[in-house]
Amino acid sequence: MNILVTGASAGFGEAISERLCSEGHRVFATARRLDRLSALAGKCGPQLVPKTLDVRDGARVAALFAEIESEYGPIDVLVNNAGLALNADPAYDVPLADWEAMVDTNIKGLMYCTHAALPGMVARNRGWIFNLGSIAGTYPYPGGNVYGATKAFVHQFSLNLRADLAGKQVRVTSIEPGLCGGTEFSVTRFHGDAERAARVYEDATPLTAVDIAHTISWLLALPPHVNINAIEMMPTSQASGNFNIVRQAAPA
Ligand code: NDP
Ligand code: 8X3
């Protein structure tokens, strides 16, 4: 199959691309850092086709999808993985630019890629879109503010797509992991503070990018009449917690 993965230069996207190449698919590995995609191509061989893409650029998304389809044929599977969290401070302390970057990437970028791929999938009555959501889209936590809200969008958008696609062979799955280490996610979130990022995973045995790649590979093996709407994944070291109660004097 022809599979396009966004955010393939690191973390989940890199592991997903590598895994799907090893299973015989042609993978269009996209991200902004071409040097990292080229290194991945060196590892995976000619089945991995690196392409530069900033998902925030809607015109470039449309042009790249059209270019790939005319050269290689239709995209059968889209993995909307590119995304980021910026900042874990309380909402009232976060620069607006961080919120905008998350909305532009996690919501608008995912929307542009879906808009470019979906009509062809419907016309061919064949396709699968995987969207990377997060447990942050379901469970609020301090500092989750706009990041969690963008992932709530991913969850609901995925379900709404299926509502429009009922009866068609176009599948949509929202993959919603919890704590997952070994990627650039937390370093990006903490604006390059690697020590603080490492503390997030200390003694926790988090999920890994390979676990996410394994899940997509397993889903792809399901029979054609099965659509998994959403998958919530956590390491065994994590579970949903209690509501927060701040014990203090009653407000005046
Ligand atoms: P990483 O930071 O390791 O990788 C993010 C990828 O997204 C990189 O390849 C980066 O590439 C790409 N990217 C970022 N911005 C853009 C952009 N504007 N255009 C194109 N590509 C972009 O993160 P993870 O692999 O950990 O996360 C992947 C996805 O999974 C994200 O959507 C994240 O929100 C979600 N997720 C992560 C969890 C975790 O704990 N790690 C848990 C739950 C969900 P480049 O910089 O080269 O463009
Ligand atoms: C990443 C998981 O819990 O850091 O989406 O928000 S979490």
pLDDT tens for each residue of 57-66:
999 999 999 9
Over residues 147-160, the pLDDT tens digits come to: 999 999 999 999 99
The pLDDT score that the predictor gives to residue 243 is 87
The pLDDT score that the predictor gives to residue 41 is 98
Q: Ligand 1: which of 185, 200, 234 to mutate, most ligand atoms within 8 Å of CB?
A: 185
Q: Ligand 2 pocket: which residues have CB below 6 Å?
A: 134-136, 178
Q: Are 1 and 25 contacting, i.e. CB atoms less than 8 angstroms apart?
A: yes
Over residues 16-55, the pLDDT tens digits come to: 999 999 999 999 999 999 999 999 999 999 999 999 999 9
Query: Domain 2-233 has what CATH class?
Result: alpha beta
**Ligand with the closest atom to the CA of 55:** 1
Confidence category of residue 242, pLDDT binned at 50, 70, 90: confident
Tokens, residue 229? 């709407």
Q: Is the pLDDT score of 241 beyond 90?
A: no
Mean pLDDT of the chain: 98
Q: Ligand 1: which of 5, 9, 233 to mutate, most ligand atoms within 8 Å of CB?
A: 9
Over residues 122-138, the pLDDT tens digits come to: 999 999 999 999 999 99
| Domain locations along the chain | 2-233
**Ligand with the closest atom to the CA of 132:** 1
Does the beta carbon of 10 sit less than 6 angstroms from any atom of ligand 1?
yes
Please name the residue whose Cα sits nearest to atom 31 of ligand 1.
Answer: 83
The pLDDT score that the predictor gives to residue 113 is 99
134 C-alpha vs ligand 2 centroid, how far in Å? 6
Q: Is the pLDDT score of 223 beyond 90?
A: yes
Candidates 72, 92, 141, 147; catalytic one? 147
**Model-level pTM?**
0.98
Confidence category of residue 169, pLDDT binned at 50, 70, 90: very high
Mean of the pLDDT values across residues 181-186? 98
Q: Is the pLDDT score of 9 beyond 90?
A: yes
Q: Ligand 1: which of 12, 65, 154 to mutate, most ligand atoms within 8 Å of CB?
A: 12
The pLDDT score that the predictor gives to residue 133 is 98
Residue 112 is a catalytic residue: no
Confidence category of residue 56, pLDDT binned at 50, 70, 90: very high
Does the beta carbon of 32 sit less than 6 angstroms from any atom of ligand 1?
yes
251 C-alpha vs ligand 1 centroid, how far in Å? 41
